[in-house]
Structure 1
């Protein structure tokens, strides 16, 4: 069985709107890795992560003020901190560090396991029981991802792969907690408050990073940073949580299965990368395995 959300029982219009919002969010997320590569063209990894936090936090704070949003109840703060640690700090930092040595196509395939990882975390967090077919598909997807990563690194995992697998774990926790919170808070406020909670650390980190790392902000680096901070980190997550609130975590997760393939397309079109035959095959295999987990 899969986790059933009350949001999935809404009207057809609400479901269609939620699907559109979540689909747009996935499209925005698929550009994250190419945008990160652009940002790294003129900034260090710590500068990229902290500056995107500051940009997104300022935009989120302005929206919360304009919307006169009330501070969430204290019982929700723990979940918001988990969203911040997983989606705002952990995943961006670990993937940025990984992309210093890994190609975007390689990273896209590895991170293609994120929906299944999120499902596993959610099952452990909520105690939901899944069918044997679900776990068989999850293990199969993990085997494909690990096999691809090892084959591309000459028979052993690289430091970039370790960063990517760590990113999977922390982002899965952030997604699962955010999906849970979206049942109690408006979806846009989930990421909005998490970003505001992260803003002091982001400002302090940006001051340190910009002074410690070389900074050569060309047009490409600034464009990448703006996409990461304003579009992917805030607008995309806003649409993502609104979509999940409308159609449920399960349905929204299925839409994210397209993200690895979209990122592979962007890596070729925007970065001029060449795909090995194994990359698209591994991406498709992972998507098939994850699709099974979402339907069991």
Structure 2
């Protein structure tokens, strides 16, 4: 008599969450590492240079795997991705981190998932429910109140750079998500980086620092930003989404601000106050609820 074997356990969702968490932790160290780098290098070099390094790695990978060139229409959409992910967030956040702490920047950029959801709704011509707008307004109000309090009632130019970085990056993420159906997941960020190289090269050259005036910690932070935060982290993230599903694994992104606060304390010794943690929890709650109704 033939006995039935027990059903096999599908480990893909668990593996997807693990890969997604690894990607989030890789991205989480980005703002603290940027703060270290901009203390010794020009902010423009840090923002453009990290993307340039990622672009060189992307070019080598695309050539090695013999990827087909995108179509003309896809190049135009990749330019939107590049404007947000390659230029907007890296350069604007680097400019902001010249004058504000990594902890401060983490709380302001916690609005990024909401910006991504809003951009996705706009691109898909969806109308978010009123609950989404309430959550967006509540989260934004919390961030602005915190930023104003830190600056003694006057918002800093750095806060404008960080908010604009979130808006542009959200648009780049949303357009990139649409393009993944046509080009593949990791191919989108790679082509966006390669497309940006001709514009990045003169920016990098004109803003290059004096190597002798930069410490090993500064260069290590820069190398991490270009190779991991700008390149390798996307592979972890997209592999997790592919294995575990976008809906489930994308929720891991809500842990990113807390990971960034931990890295800010570990790498920079920045104190993380109870107020910062409570504001971060409140903003993440607004983001989680708002994305559900986007």
- Normalising by the residue count of structure 1, what TM-score does the alignment of the two structures yield? 0.90
Deviation at 1:164, TM superposition (A): 0.6
In structure 2, distance between residues paired with 1:151 and 1:176 = 31
**Distance change >3 Å, CA 85–CA 243, structure 1 → 2:** farther
Q: Which residue in 2 is equivalent to 1:150?
A: 148
Structure 1 residues 14-47: Cα deviation after superposition (integer angstroms, max 9, x where no partner): 5444433332211111000111122123311111
1:102 aligns with 2:103: no
Q: Which residue in 2 is equivalent to 1:41?
A: 39
Following superposition of structure 1 onto structure 2, how do residues 213-224 of structure 1 map, counting pairs within 5 Å? 215=211, 216-224=213-221
Structure 1 spans left out of the alignment, 5+ residues: 1-10
In structure 2, distance between residues paired with 1:56 and 1:151 = 36
Q: 1:137 aligns with which of 135, 143, 147?
A: 135
Q: Which residue in 1 is equivalent to 2:275?
A: 278
3-state DSSP of counterpart to 1:156: coil
In structure 2, distance between residues paired with 1:43 and 1:227 = 15
Q: Which residue in 2 is equivalent to 1:64?
A: 62
Size of the aligned set, in residue pairs, is: 284
Structure 1 residues 56-102: Cα deviation after superposition (integer angstroms, max 9, x where no partner): 11111111111111111222112211111101111011100100111
In structure 2, distance between residues paired with 1:229 and 1:282 = 30
- Contact in 2 for aligned 1:87/1:174 (Cα 8 Å): yes
Q: 1:292 aligns with which of 286, 289, 292?
A: 289
3-state DSSP of counterpart to 2:154: coil
- Contact in 2 for aligned 1:179/1:249 (Cα 8 Å): no
Q: Which residue in 2 is equivalent to 1:167?
A: 165
In structure 1, distance between residues paired with 2:11 and 2:115 = 30
3-state DSSP of counterpart to 2:182: coil
1:229 aligns with 2:233: no
- Contact in 2 for aligned 1:95/1:163 (Cα 8 Å): yes
Structure 2 spans left out of the alignment, 5+ residues: 1-8
- Contact in 2 for aligned 1:148/1:278 (Cα 8 Å): no
Larger Rg computed on CA atoms: 2
In structure 1, distance between residues paired with 2:71 and 2:243 = 22
In structure 2, distance between residues paired with 1:196 and 1:78 = 13
- Contact in 1 for aligned 2:12/2:243 (Cα 8 Å): yes
Following superposition of structure 1 onto structure 2, how do residues 11-90 of structure 1 map, counting pairs within 5 Å? 13-90=11-88
In structure 2, distance between residues paired with 1:15 and 1:192 = 26
In structure 2, distance between residues paired with 1:26 and 1:181 = 21
**Distance change >3 Å, CA 251–CA 118, structure 1 → 2:** farther
Following superposition of structure 1 onto structure 2, how do residues 176-195 of structure 1 map, counting pairs within 5 Å? 176-195=174-193
In structure 2, distance between residues paired with 1:246 and 1:191 = 19
In structure 2, distance between residues paired with 1:93 and 1:107 = 14
Structure 1 residues 160-209: Cα deviation after superposition (integer angstroms, max 9, x where no partner): 11111111111001110111111222211011111111112122211111
- Contact in 2 for aligned 1:29/1:232 (Cα 8 Å): yes
Q: Which residue in 2 is equivalent to 1:8?
A: none
- Normalising by the residue count of structure 2, what TM-score does the alignment of the two structures yield? 0.90
Q: Which residue in 2 is equivalent to 1:3?
A: none
Q: Which residue in 1 is equivalent to 2:5?
A: none
